[in-house]
Amino acid sequence: MATNRRDFLRMTATAGGGLVLGFNWFSSALAETPTVLNKSALAAGEISFNSFLSISSNNIITIFSPNPELGQNIKTSFPMIVAEELDADWTKVNVLQAALDTVKFERQVTGGSGAVPHSWKRLRTAGATARQMLIQAGAKQWNVPVEECTAENGFIIHSKTGKKLNFGELAEAASKLPVPTDVKLKDRKDFKIIGTAVKNVENKNITTGKPLFGLDFYREGMLFGMIQRPVSFGMKLKSVDSAAAKKVPGIVDVVSFKNNVAVVGKSTWQVMKARKLLKIEYEKDAALESTADHNKIFTDLMETTSATVRRKDGDVETAFKNAAKVIKAEYQCPFLSHAPMEPMNFFADVRADRVELVGPTQTPAGARAETSKLLGIPEDKITLELTRLGGGFGRRLKNDYVVEAAELSSIVKAPIKLVWSREDDITGGTYRPSVRYRFEAALDAKGNLIGYKLRGVGINSGNPTRENNFPSGAVDNLLIDSVEHQSPITTGPWRAPITNFLAYAEQAFIDEVAQAAGKDPVQFRLELLQKAKSAPAGPIKYDIDRMEGVIKLAAEKSNWGKKPGVSQGFSVYFSHASYVAQVCEVVMRDAKPVIKKIYAASDCGEVINLSGARQQVMGGIVDGLGHAMYSQLTFKDGATEQKNFNTYRLIRMKEIPEIETHFVNNGIDPTGLGEPALPPTGGAVANAIFKATGKRLRKQPFFEEDIFKPIS
């Protein structure tokens, strides 16, 4: 089995005849037309394509899938798109993880729900090109007109004569034909693979415990390394006494660099034990912040006059002055850890003139660039092999652990597998930032929303608003601004950055406004969208029709407002180019609210893999619900009070509601689904709980609210 791109190319070159198309899924700078690769070029192994479609003479179809796979299932959905246009028999298609990294990999990144949208057309074109070449080869062999030949389920067929050859039998002949430049893509009504439920191509390897992940990678002679980082944000290293640690059997070295003390040894356990024996002194380098400080900072900055204005439409002051009713509420969300199940790790072997990196990252190109910069070794001397990612959620967009591994290897001059413990992961930063929002709404006497104000105050959050999202455009007088507090606590993108908590706050507040206006929450949103359509206020940066579409579908499927015995809450959100509406249903049991069911209506454009799409929606909802209900990081003296899963609480099986998924599937090009199902969940849950209990949930995590506590 080929393990990387070069091996794959060499094996393909020696495997006998066939057709190999090289193409680029990502690079917009390069030609969009696929190219036939000849044997000598393949054998050389250095070809400037990042993707390959190979049809061997013995009819084995192989597709190389290069995006980092972290559970969003693109290793299955990408090849499905190629196979669709190729008219291949899906069960005969092999998919190889392209554990590769070439300079041509423009978007070898997983993040922003952008993988499928980015490559949709290129993947289709590659498949369609190969299909057309196979048809031409068949027509030529049978000496019949091309128009009389068709491709079906892995065969080229001439129906008039009943002649039929499989793709492999025509592959060699096809490889000698010129590459067509104007291939016709299928009409979506003819799709046979796209839109069906296809199982994850890695299931067997996963369920039998094959070494797929970075942490599973092993190289003869490698050493294990763990790093003790400062115990608090705002501390720096002062002195190290490593005498006791060095005496632990198996320990090879203890070294310091930057604020790190690294223990290197022959096994993970020995290194873990030795690390506990380090005597390290730290000194204060910046403020040691606590959650109590953050709450005070939020309160102070909420009143500042020097906020950054993000969007301003009309005259907000006058609108509020003339309002018949003003509604005002503050919402707050805590810091969160990404906590992917596979902790951070990377293998690095740094030599004088070259570097080998192996492991899980969402941004391999960035990892290589940072390593190059750190070590002063040119990028073309650095290879990076991607493993499967045991979750990412945005954490592996930041390559700090890759660079640490490279630096440690360069210092101890040995191949190193750097491993973070779970405690390192939870205490080590790059968190979802904590944010407080203040919303204000002005209603006229008829309950129309005439003014809207939002201020977001975040800690290392960047802009915590999405000023052009709904309801912007639907309110004549609107002001959205933000303030950021700079903190030593590090933050970074977390699945559905910003919207993962902004959506909850906004959709819960909209529910408050609808209630104050005496309107049904669904009807209220539809009226706002109608207003945005007929008399827009300022630019509209979301698709009103698509948002309406999911609202109506969710309302219909959940039998909104007509269901006896349950309390329903509504939420809808646009993020990362897709739209998802959700209805949460709550019942009271023993005087406590129980989340029974969540309906989701999603518009992500064309659904590629129905099984994967459902998984992303269900997983996104569980993720959104779990973090809204249970998870938080609190700080004391610059350190998290939660260190591991005994105190950092994640949702578990007993806590999940039933979930029902629906897709609009309107045939527009795919717009992504790795993130968009998460943001609406917190709002739907908060609104349903309000309906059931009369209590507004304005602070996450919800489980700390009295309504969830046992009655004494």
Please report, as ranges, the residues that interact with other proteins according to CB under 8 A. 70-73, 197, 199-200, 202-204, 206-213, 215-216, 218, 224, 249, 267-270, 272-273, 339-343, 388-393, 421-423, 611, 615, 618-623, 626, 644-646, 650-654, 656, 659
Minimum distance, C-beta of residue 422 to other proteins, in the bound complex (Å): 4
Is 375:350 a contact under the CB 8 Å cutoff? Answer: yes
Minimum distance, C-beta of residue 395 to other proteins, in the bound complex (Å): 11
Minimum distance, C-beta of residue 653 to other proteins, in the bound complex (Å): 5
Which residue type sits at 87? Answer: D
Minimum distance, C-beta of residue 230 to other proteins, in the bound complex (Å): 21
Rg of the chain's alpha carbons, rounded to an integer? 28
Residue 249 or 462 having the CB closest to other proteins: 249
Greatest Cα-to-Cα distance within the chain, rounded to the nearest angstrom: 87
Residue 352 or 653 having the CB closest to other proteins: 653
| Residue 255, beta-bridge partner list | 262
Residue 49 or 224 having the CB closest to other proteins: 224
Residue 61 or 212 having the CB closest to other proteins: 212
Minimum distance, C-beta of residue 211 to other proteins, in the bound complex (Å): 5
CB neighbourhood size of 318 (10 A): 13
For residue 417, with 0-12 CB atoms within 10 Å meaning exposed, 13-18 middle and 19 or more buried, which class applies?
buried
| Residue 347, beta-bridge partner list | 358, 417
Is 525:551 a contact under the CB 8 Å cutoff? Answer: yes
Residue 272 or 288 having the CB closest to other proteins: 272
Question: With b meaning 16 or more CB within 10 Å and e meaning fewer, what string describes 554-576?
Answer: bbebbebeeeeebbbbbbbbbbb
Residue 189 or 589 having the CB closest to other proteins: 589
Minimum distance, C-beta of residue 154 to other proteins, in the bound complex (Å): 22
Minimum distance, C-beta of residue 687 to other proteins, in the bound complex (Å): 21
Minimum distance, C-beta of residue 704 to other proteins, in the bound complex (Å): 20
Minimum distance, C-beta of residue 344 to other proteins, in the bound complex (Å): 12
Please name the helix (run of DSSP H) or strand (run of DSSP E) that holds residue 454, with its range, or none. strand 449-459
Residue 12 or 575 having the CB closest to other proteins: 575
Look-up of token digits 């004549």: 476
Residue 12 or 615 having the CB closest to other proteins: 615
Minimum distance, C-beta of residue 171 to other proteins, in the bound complex (Å): 30
Minimum distance, C-beta of residue 500 to other proteins, in the bound complex (Å): 14
Is 421:515 a contact under the CB 8 Å cutoff? Answer: no
Residue 76 or 332 having the CB closest to other proteins: 76
Q: Quote the CA–CA distance of 373 and 79 in Å, as a whole number.
A: 35
Count of residues in the chain:
712
Q: Torsion over CA of 444, 446, 448 and 454, rounded to 10 degrees?
A: 40
Please tell me whether residue 509 adopts helix, strand or coil conformation.
Answer: helix
Please tell me whether residue 586 adopts helix, strand or coil conformation.
Answer: strand
Minimum distance, C-beta of residue 68 to other proteins, in the bound complex (Å): 11
Residue 272 or 587 having the CB closest to other proteins: 272
Residue 559 or 647 having the CB closest to other proteins: 647
The values of phi and psi at residue 320, to 5°, are -70, -35
Is 237:282 a contact under the CB 8 Å cutoff? Answer: yes
Residue 270 or 468 having the CB closest to other proteins: 270
Look-up of token digits 């699945």: 495
CB neighbourhood size of 341 (10 A): 10
Minimum distance, C-beta of residue 343 to other proteins, in the bound complex (Å): 7
Q: Torsion over CA of 287, 293, 298 and 304, rounded to 10 degrees?
A: -60
Would you state the structure tokens that stand for residue 140, as one six-digit string? 């030529």
Residue 399 or 616 having the CB closest to other proteins: 616
Q: Quote the CA–CA distance of 154 and 168 in Å, as a whole number.
A: 9
| Residue 258 Rama label (left phi>0; alpha psi -120 to 50; beta) | left
CB neighbourhood size of 591 (10 A): 8
Would you state the structure tokens that stand for residue 118, as one six-digit string? 């980015």
Is 402:359 a contact under the CB 8 Å cutoff? Answer: yes
The values of phi and psi at residue 272, to 5°, are -60, -45
Q: Taking Cα atoms as reference points, which of 290, 329, 684 lies closest to residue 507?
A: 684
The values of phi and psi at residue 303, to 5°, are -100, 0
Minimum distance, C-beta of residue 625 to other proteins, in the bound complex (Å): 8
Minimum distance, C-beta of residue 113 to other proteins, in the bound complex (Å): 15
Residue 542 or 630 having the CB closest to other proteins: 630
Would you state the structure tokens that stand for residue 544, as one six-digit string? 């009103």
For residue 1, with 0-12 CB atoms within 10 Å meaning exposed, 13-18 middle and 19 or more buried, which class applies?
exposed
The values of phi and psi at residue 680, to 5°, are -70, -20
Residue 73 or 469 having the CB closest to other proteins: 73
Q: Quote the CA–CA distance of 580 and 598 in Å, as a whole number.
A: 12
* CB half-sphere exposure, 12, CA atoms < 13 A: 35
Look-up of token digits 């893509």: 185
Q: Quote the CA–CA distance of 627 and 632 in Å, as a whole number.
A: 8
Minimum distance, C-beta of residue 388 to other proteins, in the bound complex (Å): 7
Residue 40 or 646 having the CB closest to other proteins: 646
CB neighbourhood size of 292 (10 A): 11
